[in-house]
Amino acid sequence: MARIIVVTSGKGGVGKTTTSASIAMGLARRGHRTAVIDFDVGLRNLDLVMGCERRVVYDFVNVINQEANLNQALIRDKREDNLFILPASQTRDKEALTKEGVGRVLDELAQSFDYVVCDSPAGIEHGATMAMYYADDAIVVTNPEVSSVRDSDRMLGILASKSRRAERGDEPIREYLLLSRYSPERVARGEMLSVDDVKDILALDLLGVIPESQSVLSASNAGVPVILDEASDAGRAYADLVGRYLGEDLPHRFLEAQKKGLLSRLFGG
């Protein structure tokens, strides 16, 4: 049976789709058969980040409505045979995601996949609640800003009360913190919350810290999950994150400002 992971946040624009794509790719590259689903009906972006937008024929809503079967809608990643993408519909309303329909699709995926990653819309709208309802694990993505952290704290309350696990009285969803767009230099200047500040507010296990990096935007524009950019700090941070999720004891990197060399200090570089 697959482990269902929801990537969620209280605020938009924090990097959920980038995170979903990189986690799914990272799990698949480690030999785990993985599916990643776009729950943002009407505003799909996952297929762009994964570089498969021209291969979309059927989508998640088609499968829910039994207009196509799962095999017809799943897109195998060109770079990794263990990875499959289930895109969202661009033309349907979010209400097309029904609890029964989503559950049926996830149950079918669970029969042949190790992990199912659910890329959730932001906030508490219908698509987001559907993405988190069946989750076993939740990765809460936040920027080191007060408003983003506050909204993420609200999401934790929803995860704890409105999931299937909560309704059944089962073991709670395992919750993890992912801090994105982190800049130690800006933290030092007092322009961002520190890692410890965010951990104190949300009281979650820190799964990863993704540094602010141009490589994230460049990879997204190229239709490549940034985890494949092994030369970038962001790519290495996502690879570390996947390792930690799978139980590896890895130190957190990119938490300290890089020290300038002598020439940089002398000439203000």
Mean local confidence (pLDDT), 184-200:
94
If you average pLDDT over every residue of the chain, what do you get?
Answer: 92
pLDDT-based confidence at residue 264 (cuts at 50, 70, 90):
low
Sign of the CA dihedral running 106, 110, 113, 119: positive
Alpha helices in 50-162 (DSSP H): 60-64, 70-73, 99-110, 126-133, 146-161
pLDDT tens, residue by residue, 8-51: 998 888 999 999 999 999 999 999 999 999 999 888 899 999 99
Question: Taking a C-beta distance cutoff of 8 angstroms, is the pair 120, 126 a contact?
Answer: no
The candidate with the shortest Cα–Cα distance to 112, out of 56, 39, 33, is 33
From residue 122, alpha-carbon distances to 39, 40, 63, 125 in Å are 10, 9, 23, 8
Q: Per-residue pLDDT for 237 more than 80?
A: yes
pTM above the 0.85 mark? yes
Residue-wise pLDDT tens digits, 91-138: 777 788 999 999 999 999 999 999 999 999 888 788 899 999 999 999
Give the model confidence (pLDDT) of 131-166 as tens digits: 999 999 999 999 999 999 999 998 899 999 999 999
pLDDT for position 260: 56
Q: Is the confidence at residue 90, as pLDDT, over 90?
A: no
* CA angle (41, 45, 47) in 5-degree steps: 105
Calculate mean pLDDT across residues 77-96. Answer: 90
Span 245-249, mean pLDDT?
97
* Cα 164 from Cα 118, distance rounded (Å): 15
The pLDDT assigned to 259 comes to 64
d(Cα 117, Cα 137) in Å, to the nearest integer? 10
